[in-house]
Structure 1
Amino acid sequence: MSGGRPGDRASRTLLFTGKGGVGKTTVAAATAVRCADAGARTIVLSTDPAHSLADSLDVELGSHPTPVVDGLWGQQLDARERMEESWGDIKGWLADVFEWAGVDGVEAEELALLPGLEEVFGLVDIKGYVDGGEWDVIVVDCAPTAETIRLLSLPDVLRWYMERVFPTSRRLHRAVGPVLSRVTSLPVAGDAVFGSAERFYARLDGVKEILADTERTSVRLVVNPERMVVAEARRTATYLSLFGYGVDAVVANRLLPDGITDPWFDRWKESHAEHLTAIDEGFAPLPVLRADLAGEEVVGLERLRAFGAALYGEQDPATRLHDGSPLRIETRDADVVLLLDLPFADHDELDLGRHADELIVTVGPYRRAIVLPDSLRGRSVTGAKLDAGTLTVTFGAARPPTRRSS
């Protein structure tokens, strides 16, 4: 990947995630070093609360971009200060409510900080870096998979809340707030709280469009050749597709090298071969990049360079390694079909519904409201099926406009 002046072209964002302990930080750091060595202005940042990026790069990193080597900057996000800017008033009100309910002051403060909320504000930095045009490549070492999915699904959930619940809540507050304040000591949310919620939403507005744009953003799953790790990666691929995020590669990390010939490792090598075959077949047509188990800890720029060279070979690590979008719309004769890739999804965990102009898709514990484009809003769902990892929803002919009687 060649370099260029900031703003010459759209940046690429690479998100690395996987089960805790699979080596995603090493893969992310090695990818960033390789991109920078190729001439791309690159920043690698961590949204994982258990930051290990600085250890991998063997440099001190703070909450702002820190130079690592020519063309490369690193950052370990301290989201608390960003969170306070938009969540402070809400946190204060929630703490007051919990104290009113009898919760101790310290415990009330803790309860007012929703689990995973701080990591969410890492998204704000990603959006800022993409919009700023200063970087060619933005590499993100994400939190482990469960936290990543919650992190990435928040813009969808928050948009739904802000467009439906928030206006109603605010109108209700203006109508009954003064009355409640006279008849009960329950703390009532004021304009400052609602303003804080609006700022919270504004900071994340547009994040989904960036991260779900498969031209600009790719998710890469890091796995080890272990049954539980592969099973979690399969679920992660399904949920990422559900929310519209494009996975363009799988990284099979810590494979036993062919040079290990000790008979003690024979069973391990057989097991790795079996799991690697399952990864190749199960995630097809995604490319599977391979990385052998290193003979020493992969720390520091030189070892990361060697790791990245072995992982990517002649490939440009910043390029999109697999084309395709998890959500597509096609016309078939008089019908229009919506196609949503849900790899590894099971019929028993899938539920589909329609509410006004939204298609509600639920897979296991995750639910997404897909806002239908104008071309589908006037059509009724006439069929749906899940086949070979793709959900196909068929919309029949458009309904004629309803005539109003004079």
Structure 2
Amino acid sequence: MPSIVTFLGKGGTGRTTSAIATAKKLATAGKKVLLIGQDSSPAWGMALGMKPSCDPQEMETNLAVVQLNSTVLLEKNWSEVKQLEAQYLRSPILKQVYGQELGIIPGMDVALALNAIREYYQSNKYDAIIYDGSGGIDPLRMFGMPEILSWYFRRFRGIFTESDIVKTLSPFVGPVTSAVLNTTWTANDITSNTDNPATRMLENGTEALSQGNVVAYLVTTPNPTALATAKYLWGSAQQIGLQVGGVLVNQGQSTDDISANFAPLTVSSLPSLDDSNWQALIAGLPAMSGKVDLPKPTEFVMAERKIKVFLPGFDKKEVKLTQYGPEITIEAGDQRRNITLPPGWRGSSVTGAKFQNGYLEVTVG
């Protein structure tokens, strides 16, 4: 399966140029690369030096480019959804709705982008996918969506099972998910306690993060605000289980203080892009090899019955821990992380917790 590389940082720090340079670097090394841009404005095309399309198009050897457009993604299969709705419900409610008229509900663009990335990921056409998103909390919520949805399914499955709307629309669930999500679910798949396609799909998304198939790089400048934002996003990335591979410092040189502040990450200083001459910028990038050997977001120390959660950028006052049955929820910043206890620890409760050196250490009795 391909590796996915994304970039996190404050606006104006050079995320997009870093993403383009990374795509060029990997393509030059012989990897088949897809560069995905979330920005639908002309600015992204100007940075590329070409007008991108909503379908992948070749930019140079081994490098394809696609620009995500939420409206296009939403209306992509709308006509098919309306036909299915007319087939499975006696009183069609979508007949007079046109894809071109649909508004994007807040948060829907994130879900649509995640599904597009999933389809490109599963196509096996590419060795690497470079995602140039907004760089802030939104892409973290996007990559963390499978785990969050899985949590909701687990907690509220009983409510879904008894819901009249689910019972009414149950014949419609499978065809619609087939058309929109390129998969096939039924109402039972959503509400069943046993293994099912819905659960497997969400677990696969979570597993892609935990196995290091998705790696983020922090992009910053020497500016204190940019550095603080990068460190906050580092800790937030750990909350969803996303590995951070290193730090890219644009518009200035790294210092000993910056390196110490982001240890044990590797910090690379990048030159400014000069007249679309990408070579110097490409040469300054780290290897970008995909998987990284760094502290894991969550580690179980079985012999000591401890869970170590890596939370750089936060202090003790910003971290909250609660337990609900076999699940422990850790809140830090604007993110939550749900950790399921190993089978041998089920029925046990948290007996202690301490925060030191960027780690939250939880002891289970």
Residue 374 of structure 1: how far off its partner (Å): 1.6
Equivalent residue runs for 1:226-245 within 5 Å: 226-245=223-242
> 1:102 maps to what in 2?
none
TM-superposed CA distance for 1:320, in Å, is: 3.5
1:308 is aligned to 282
CA distance in 1, matches of 2:264, 2:136: 21
Match of 2:314 in 1: 345
Seen in structure 2, the aligned counterparts of structure 1 residues 174 and 54 have a Cα distance that, compared at 3 Å, is closer
TM-score by length of 2: 0.80
What does residue range 173-322 of structure 1 map to in structure 2 within 5 Å? Answer: 173=164, 190-191=169-170, 202=198, 205=202, 206-214=204-212, 216-255=213-252, 276-294=255-273, 296-297=274-275, 299=276, 303-312=277-286, 316-322=287-293
The residue that corresponds to 2:362 in the other structure is 393
Q: How far is 1:170 from its partner?
A: 4.7
CA, structure 1 residues 390+193, in 2 after alignment: closer, same or farther (shift >3 Å)?
farther
Give, in angstroms, the shift of residue 197 of structure 1.
7.9
Indicate the residue corresponding to 2:37 in structure 1.
46
Deviation of 1:171 after TM superposition, in Å, equals 1.3
Counterpart-to-counterpart distance in 2, 1:53 and 1:66: 15
Q: Do structure 1's residue 12 and structure 2's residue 26 form an aligned pair?
A: no
Asked if the contact 2:215–2:290 (Cα under 8 Å) also holds between the matched residues in 1, the reply is no
Q: What is the CA-CA distance between 1:285 and the residue it aligns to?
A: 0.7
Give 1:119 shift: 2.9
Alpha-carbon shift at residue 44 of structure 1 (Å):
1.0
- Asked whether the equivalents of residues 123 and 204 of structure 1 are also in contact (C-alpha less than 8 Å), the reply is no
* Displacement after TM superposition at 1:193 (Å): 8.0
The residue that corresponds to 2:48 in the other structure is 57
Q: Distance in 1 between matches of 2:51 and 2:165?
A: 49
Which residue of structure 1 aligns with residue 142 of structure 2?
Answer: 151
Q: How far apart are residue 146 of structure 1 and its match?
A: 2.3
Q: For the Cα contact (< 8 Å) 2:34–2:129, is it kept in 1? A: yes
Measured at CA, do residues 318 and 53 of structure 1 come closer, stay the same or move farther in structure 2, by a change above 3 Å?
farther
Structure 1 residue identity aligned to 2:363: T
For residues 208-259 of structure 1, what are the alpha-carbon distances to aligned partners after superposition, in whole Å with 9 as ceiling and x for unaligned? 2213322x22110111111111111111111110111110101011116xxx
Matched residue, 1:140: 131
Q: Which amino acid aligns with 1:382?
A: T
Tell me the matched-pair count.
Answer: 328
CA contact (8 A) 2:36 2:68 kept: yes
Deviation string for 1:259-286 (max 9, x for gaps)? xxxxxxxxxxxxxx6xx33321111010
Q: Match for 2:310: what amino acid?
A: D
Whether the aligned pair in 1 keeps the contact of 2:318 and 2:332 (CA below 8 Å) is yes
- Asked whether the 8 Å contact 1:64–1:76 carries over to 2, the reply is yes
Moved more, 369-378 or 195-204: 195-204
Q: After TM superposition, give the deviation of residue 76 of structure 1 in Å.
A: 0.8
Relative distance call for 1:338 and 1:29 in structure 2 (3 A) is same
For 1:197 and 1:162, locate their aligned partners in 2 and report how far apart those are by CA, in whole Å: 16
Q: Distance in 1 between matches of 2:42 and 2:160?
A: 38
Aligned counterparts of 2:77 and 2:328: Cα–Cα separation in 1: 31
Q: Map residues 53-202 of structure 1 onto 2, 5 A cutoff.
A: 53-84=44-75, 113-165=104-156, 167-173=158-164, 190-191=169-170, 202=198
Tell me if 1:329 matches 2:308: no
Distance 1:167 1:194 in 2: 18
Question: Structure 2: any 5+ residue segments left out of the alignment?
Answer: 86-96, 182-189, 191-197
Relative to 1, partners in 2 of residues 1:290 and 1:309: Cα closer, same or farther, differing over 3 Å? same
Q: Partners of 1:81 and 1:321 in 2: how far apart?
A: 35
Structure with larger Rg: 1
What is the identity percentage for the equivalent residue pairs of Structure 1 and Structure 2?
Answer: 27
C-alpha distance in 2 between matches for 1:83 and 1:322 = 38
Contact 1:137 1:318 in 2 (8 A): no
If the length of structure 1 is used for normalisation, what is the TM-score?
0.72
SS in 2 for 1:254: coil
Distance 2:154 2:244 in 1: 29
SS at match of 2:322: strand
Shift in alpha-carbon separation, 1:141–1:348, aligned structure 2, 3 A = same
Compute the displacement of 1:50 (Å).
4.8
Give distance in 2, aligned partners of 1:229 and 1:135. Answer: 32
Residues 62/211 of structure 1: CA separation in 2 closer, same or farther (3 Å cut): farther
Q: Note if contact 2:265-2:294 (Cα within 8 Å) is conserved in structure 1.
A: no
Change (3 A) 1:126 1:204: farther
Query: Which whole-Å CA distance do the structure 2 matches of 1:321 and 1:170 have between them?
Result: 41
Q: Deviations 1:43-80 (Å, cap 9, x if unpaired)?
A: 11113455744322212211121101111111111233
Matched residues in 2 for 1:360 and 1:193: separation? 34
Aligned-residue CA RMSD (Å): 3.0
Q: Secondary structure at the match of 2:285?
A: helix
- 1:16–1:222 contact (8 Å) kept in structure 2: yes
TM-superposed CA distance for 1:162, in Å, is 2.7
